[in-house]
Amino acid sequence: MKQAEAPPDKAWSGPTHAGVKSPAPIVMPDLACRFAVTAARLDHLAPGHPMEPWLRFVARLARAQHVVATTLAPAATLSAEDIARATEARLPPLAADGHQRSPVWRDALTRLLDHLVAPNASVGPNASVGPNARVGLNAPVGADSSAIPPQGDDLPPATLALIETLRTADPTTLETLATQFLRGHIPAADTGATVFIVAALQIYFTGSAARVSAADLRLLEERSLCPCCGSPSIAGVITASGIIPGTRYLHCSMCSTAWNHTWQIAGQSIYFSFPIALTIVIIIAIWTFNVLGMRPAVWVGYVTGALLLIPLAVIMFLPYITGDWHSSNMNSTIHWTSLTGDNGIKLVIVWLYVMCWSSYGMECCATFAPEYHDTARDTGKALRVAAVFGVIVYALLPLGAVGTFGAQNITLDNYLGSFYATTFHDILGTGTGIAILLLCAGIVLAMNTATADGSRALYGISQDGMTIRWFGRLNRYHVPANAMTLDALLNIVLLLTYASDPIGALKILVISNLGYVLCHVFATSGFLLLRKDRPSWPRPLKLGPIWVALAGIFCVANLLFIIFGVARLKETGYAFNDAFTDPTAYLNRIIIVGVAALAAGVLGYIIAQRQHGKPFSWRDPSDEGPSPEVYELMGTPQPAAASATTGD
């Protein structure tokens, strides 16, 4: 919106494809093209094929299905209660082998047979030829319509006789044939008739599935079966284009529903697609830059950081110049006077818990302290600059983005961050693709920083005898390559298990936050204990007494973040199931995985104690004085007999 214009009063009209999206778990059939596309594909493949007569016959059958599906459109009637009851029990609501079929499917069979014998009802003047042709309601299907005889006298006599038998069969016979097929028992004598029975059932079940919303369905525990009708898949297709290329879908043999297929290991879905493969390549590249030493990793940070500054600057500052920012886009539903309401203070605390993951990111500067040119001077400088930058970005980025995009326009389709790209487009009038690339550079920056930071943290903990010795080794480039390798492998595992989950990235965030925020509780409380226990120890980075009080406040605040964040996690929507129908579906799993990660850390401590020849103890009494490195940083000589107050 430009200056002097009225504020927007409708939904966002910018590009809808921007941003990184997750593949739809379930895709319902489209009657307008389902059978037409099949016929077009078969007509395209038939010429010169060894089975050309059969392919042309099946194409003719598919054309007849298209006509019946788009004119008669037979379908079952399912109530919302029936669908909800079935999906809650993880059963297909349109179960092919148990569903009470409507007699309308027999009408579809009659029309199908009529059109097979006399296929001269035109479906339109314009053919769409090719394996990927999308054929509309009024378009004929086939590679060469002149090659399709107008009457049924080209059909073999046996086929014509079979068609006539089915036309005159009583309803009981037809229902028996249908039931036999759906239950997997087809007598050899009925094989020919079953071809036409199945074709009519496909029309009926596809028409029924087309009336069901994908949001009302859930994937079955047996992922090879259709979530709508429970039939086995007929094919697996990996998408080559679209918003999510490289995604694998299975297609139902009966109702034509498609669902995102995943492998299962111990009940955990395993995802793989082209975007996942590309991300794995990026992870390996980042790992390579980091294990080759500090300098390559630093240059990756310089380049990606500079690229990220471009969209940040555009969104944070330009909207006020171009007139795209408007205060009417800023609104809040928080009830600031309510302590217990769902939209009250507790919701703010929950979101503060979620925000800790990124807002505490400047602490990584301290991890690199031993590698700065002047550790005592540069560590404080790095922390201060990072903190100021973080405050500026956290204040101005959401203000600029939401003030331009509009809080009312943030939906389930764009709330994972794609609205930043569309905001970029709205401000500049172009550049959505460029914005996505620049934001991806920011993701690479975060991955690079996390690899360097996390590996050094593990190295330091190992050096202090608090976790497995293997992490405390440096390679010939003087970097903790072992810890970096663990980081890369863990990221790949999370990528394969959560990446294609619609909100998988957010689940990873809240899982990791449990331990991450708890570490800040331990760090601030440890700072308080050290200041009380050993006040005379030298401190290269000195803070005034006010910071002792602030550390206590931050310690309590982070503890509250954890309590409210875990207890009220459903308020964020991060524990929703795939269909976004149950806000607590993954809550227990998130808590279990988070606690398991903490338990793994404790196990590392126990192993380290044994590796260092110490008996396991929850307490570690120590009367050690400051290390020589501390006195060196302070620029003061180490006392001949450094004394320290004994403490735990």
Pairing state of beta strands 258-260 and 26-27? antiparallel
Inform me whether the pLDDT recorded for 176 exceeds 80: yes
Higher pLDDT, 286 or 275: 286
Of 100, 99, 97, 39, give the one whose Cα is nearest residue 68.
39
Neighbours of 67 (CB within 10 A): 23
Neighbours of 131 (CB within 10 A): 11
29: tokens are: 């059939």
Lowest-pLDDT range of 42-46, 118-122, 539-543:
118-122
% of the chain with per-residue pLDDT over 90: 29
Neighbours of 319 (CB within 10 A): 23
User: What dotted CATH number matches 275-634?
Assistant: 1.20.1740.10
Domain borders along the chain are 26-212, 275-634
Burial letters for 476-505: b for 16+ Cβ neighbours within 10 Å, e otherwise?
A: eeebbbbbbbbbbeebbebbbbbbbbbbbb
Q: What is the mean pLDDT of residues 133-142?
A: 33
Cβ(465)–Cβ(331) below 8 Å: no
- In the block, tokens 């929950």 appear at 350
Half-sphere exposure of 433 (CA within 13 A, CB side): 1
At residue 206, the pLDDT reads: 93
581-601 pLDDT, tens digit each: 677 777 888 888 888 888 998
95-108 pLDDT, tens digit each: 887 778 888 999 99
Q: What is the mean pLDDT of residues 619-625?
A: 66
Binned at pLDDT 50, 70 and 90, residue 147 comes out as very low
Considering only CA atoms, give the Rg of the chain: 32
At residue 565, the pLDDT reads: 87
355-391 pLDDT, tens digit each: 888 888 888 888 888 888 888 788 889 999 999 999 9
Q: What is the mean pLDDT of residues 11-29?
A: 58
Torsion, Cα 470 472 478 481, to 10 degrees, reads 40
Average confidence score pLDDT of the chain: 80
Inform me whether the pLDDT recorded for 166 exceeds 60: yes
Helix (H, G, I), strand (E, B) or coil at 548: helix
Q: If you write DSSP's letter for every residue of 232-274 in order, what string do you get?
A: BEEEEEE--SSSSTT-EEEEESSS--EEE--EEETTEEE---H
Of 215, 235, 264, give the one whose Cα is nearest residue 25.
215
Q: How far apart are CA 470 and CA 480, in angstroms?
A: 10
Q: How far apart are CA 450 and CA 364, in angstroms?
A: 8
At residue 34, the pLDDT reads: 92
Inform me whether the pLDDT recorded for 483 exceeds 90: yes
Higher pLDDT, 514 or 499: 514
63-84 pLDDT, tens digit each: 999 999 998 877 887 888 888 8
Cβ(422)–Cβ(430) below 8 Å: no
Binned at pLDDT 50, 70 and 90, residue 418 comes out as low
**Which residues, in sequence order, are CB contacts of 393 under 8 Å at separation 6+?**
312, 316
Q: How far apart are CA 139 and CA 313, in angstroms?
A: 50
Helix (H, G, I), strand (E, B) or coil at 27: strand
Q: Right CATH number for 26-212 from 3.90.1670.10, 3.30.420.10, 3.30.2130.10, 3.40.1190.20?
A: 3.90.1670.10
Q: How far apart, in Å, are the Cα atoms of 262 and each of 26, 259, 283, 495? A: 12, 9, 22, 13
Inform me whether the pLDDT recorded for 620 exceeds 70: no
Inform me whether the pLDDT recorded for 8 exceeds 90: no
At residue 455, the pLDDT reads: 92
